[in-house]
A and B are shown apart, each in its own frame.
Chain A
Amino acid sequence: MTTSTIAGAPRRGVLSRVTDRIGGGVIQALMVLIGVFWLVPTLGLFVVSIREEAANNSTGWWTAFTKPAEFTLKSYGDLLATGFTSSFWNTVAITVPATILVIGIAAMAAYAFAWMDFPGRDPLFLVVVGLLVVPIQIALIPIAKLYGALGIFGSIAGVVLFHVAFGLPFAIFLLRNFFVGIPASLLEAARMDGASEWRIFSTVVFPLAKPAIASLGIFQFLWVWNDLLVALVFADSDNQPMTKALQSQMRQFGTNIDILAPGAFLSLIIPLVLFFAFQRYFVQGMMAGSVK
């Protein structure tokens, strides 16, 4: 960028080239500073989680680098002994089905919106667009009542169902917009050959939509994995995911940082790994759904 500017403007004098160089140095330094600024909070959490409790209570985590003797995995061991593992598995048991169900249900609806004709299609899709921004608070009380009547209040199934329902508008929106971009010729050909709609959907459209499904999947996965509010209301203590388990520890913040820090770090490991592995799909999903 800078170089091309210089090359493109040969009339510029030596002076401006020098200031460019200096400006570039300042910008480099500034960006490094900002990057550090953004990394330090998470780094702090990590260091606190692998330090002795006594050390955490007396000095700042940044002093630990000079005293490597303080590092220990004891907090993680203690945490796993408290039954935190069960909340980890609860998180998995909520997130995986919620993600798969959203993809399946939304893909079918999106296919209908994109490639099938039925009365009221466009208005109905506008309703879906409108639902993108509905705050989940609106449903907490009514759904709690509904779940009570159905006998699934507090269960994992209830939490999953709630996430699926509120994940759908975004999912349908994203997939439908991808599906309409699929070449009509492919569908025409399949229809000419007498393939059923279900067959077209499952063997032509669905496989073609892999990038969009990956975007949706990663997004929905992170959204459900990281949710606190839904779990707070609908999951009882046997079925609580990590976020809720951690939240219940917040009250004694300070005295139990040896539980909170490793717990928080464990809860963010999987999202971070997924994020780095699939960041390009994550970005796509985010962009496509930034109305959310």
Chain B
Amino acid sequence: MTERLDGPRAPRGGGDAARGSSPGPDDAAGSPAGPREESPSPADAGTTAGTAATGTTGDAAETTGAGADGDVHPALADVTPATSADPAERMAPAVEPEIATAGPAAPGVVRGPSRLGPSPTLAILFLLPGVVLLGAMVIYPIIYSIFRSLYDSTGDTFVGLENYGAIFSDSGTLTTIRNNLIWVVVAPAMVTVIGLIFAVLTERIRWATAFKLIVFMPMAVSLMASGVIFRLVYEQAPDRGVANAVITSVQGVFGSHNGFPDARPRENDQAPVAAQQGTVVTKQPAQPGKAVLIPLVGVKPADLATASAAKAAPQAGPGELAGTVWVDFTQGGGGRLNEVDATEKALEGLTVEAVQNGEVKATATTGADGTFRLSGLSAGDYVVRLPQSNFEAAFGGVSWLGPTLITPAIIGAFIWVWAGFSMVLIAAGLSAIPRDALEAARIDGATEWQVFRKITVPLLSPVLLVVFVTMIINTLKVFDLVFVIAPGSVQPQANVIALEMWRVAFGGGNNQGLGSALAIFLLILVLPFMIINIRRFRRDNQ
């Protein structure tokens, strides 16, 4: 993965024997560099002998690679070796002219091309702009953030590790950590497996290049635009969102019928509940132990044909909120306002939530008599809310962007974006696997599945690992997709660390202490992969 270009060459050119075998005028060029390479070369020779069978394998592969591949492939073939390790070394290297000419002649020594002249001072001049920028805008911020994370929101008071404590005690940030965990467990594995399946399948079709382009295309699209695309895909109404349209056309018409699209509270001051952005909420905060009345009107008589009579709320126990949701309307007149009368009908199957400070603390569903019981609540004031889902027409389609499905839905979009990356890398690795090994196994009577399990996957494992690790890093940093796809009201449920960092520091929170702590936390999560990268790079260059 690391060295796209010298990766394949290093093993071939690194050993003296291999370099000697490279023909032509470049030999002369190789020799002056010789003494320099002497020290690394024994180690090189060792690894070369162990992994690549002969010095000529590479060149042979080069020709087959160039001949067999279509449009995308040369590029892939060129780079795969980069994906490192065994199969890679036998792989076709560069096919494009410039690189190809450079190829056999390359000294392949990563550490020490010959140094005739340039003084270190000159080197510093060449490095200066890059080093200054990296120092001022990457390294310095890391150090600054470490210190900043130990101070409070304004930066005046030293608070020690309090900000880090806040990360692990606040229920909001704990949700973000849980979400990131789900992301890391689910998304990289799925992207890798899907990429592997696609890569294997593309070998079976003639239009593989077209297929790869299609699946790969989302990588060129901004995550912002992808977000808009998937907001459209996930729209809840089956006659607008394509995901639900597909589901409903496959499943036929849903049978269940729980929504009461026309139900609404009375609009007067005496009504205990009011409509608010599509939901219905209690006007006065309720405390556990009390009964809650949620009278609604406007339900069509046809929808109430099978409804049973409403009952007054049962006595609520400690830590419970109990109440009734019913139609506060007696046909033909009569009945008392805002009280449960025997003639009035219950609303069954509605979702009821107890909300405190914008967070849902408990949910319940109303029974046949319209009563509900919200339990497990600590003391305090709650708003009882009937979420919007209750008032959407029945047969509403899957609520992809609702609080429960939001993370899986966004992971779906993530897979759409990244499957191409995974597929292309793995396909390049696949094309590097020696065909004769597979053929030999087949002739010996191995089934396709056995060949895949026992030969293909083990030979691919270095590439699979690279894809997997890259995806872990990407999922840890995921920001745009969550920010764009999750509607504002569901963002607390969909939140991830990278997004929370932005929200805390810039998106209204203005707490730079906590923001810095979150950024450092993110850096710590990425750190193991940074070390893996450095190690892999050093190993590949030894």
Contacts and interface: CB of A to CB of B under 8 A. Distances in A.
B102 interface: yes
**Dominant SS at the B interface?**
helix
B201 A226 contact: no
Nearest to B536: A291
B115 A276 contact: no
A50 to B, nearest CB: 14
Interface stretch (B121-129, B336-344, B364-372): B121-129
10 contacts: A8-B442, A62-B242, A62-B245, A116-B123, A142-B141, A229-B480, A243-B224, A246-B228, A257-B232, A268-B220
Nearest to A109: B130
A143 B102 contact: no
Nearest to A245: B224
Contacts, number: 390
A180 B203 CA distance: 33
Contacts of B477: 135, 137
Contact of B484 (A182, A233, A247): A247
Interface string B198-222: 1001111100001101111111111
Contacts of A134: 138, 142, 523, 526, 530
A264 B229 contact: yes
Interface of B: 1-6, 9, 26, 28-30, 32-33, 71-72, 74-76, 78-80, 82-83, 96, 98-99, 102-103, 105-118, 120, 122-124, 126-127, 129-131, 133-134, 136-142, 144-145, 148, 198, 201-205, 210-211, 213-225, 227-233, 239-242, 245, 416, 419, 421, 424-425, 428, 439, 442-443, 466-467, 470, 473, 476-477, 479-480, 483-484, 487-488, 498, 501-502, 505-506, 512, 515-516, 518-520, 522-523, 526, 529-531, 533-534, 537-538
A80 interface: no
A228 B137 contact: no
A138 B139 CA distance: 10
A103 B96 CA distance: 21
Interface string A21-42: 0001001101100110011111
B530 to A, nearest CB: 5
Contacts of A211: 96, 98-99
A2 B204 contact: yes
Given A222-B220, A246-B228, A138 B439 contact: no
A183 B106 contact: yes
B242 A138 contact: no
A8 B120 contact: no
Given A108-B127, A140-B519, A280-B74, A288 B133 contact: no
A77 interface: no
A69 to B, nearest CB: 19
A221 B2 CA distance: 21
Contacts of B239: 58-60
A116 to B, nearest CB: 4
Contact of B116 (A128, A180, A191, A226): A191
A152 interface: no
Interface string A187-200: 11001100001000
A168 B132 CA distance: 11
The A interface, classified by DSSP as helix, strand, loop or mixed, is helix
Contacts of A129: 2, 533-534, 537
Contact of B75 (A122, A197, A280, A291): A280
Nearest to A244: B224
A73 interface: no
Contact of B470 (A58, A137, A291): A291
Contacts of B204: 1-2, 24, 27, 31
Contact of A232 (B96, B428, B487, B506): B506
Contacts of A124: 131
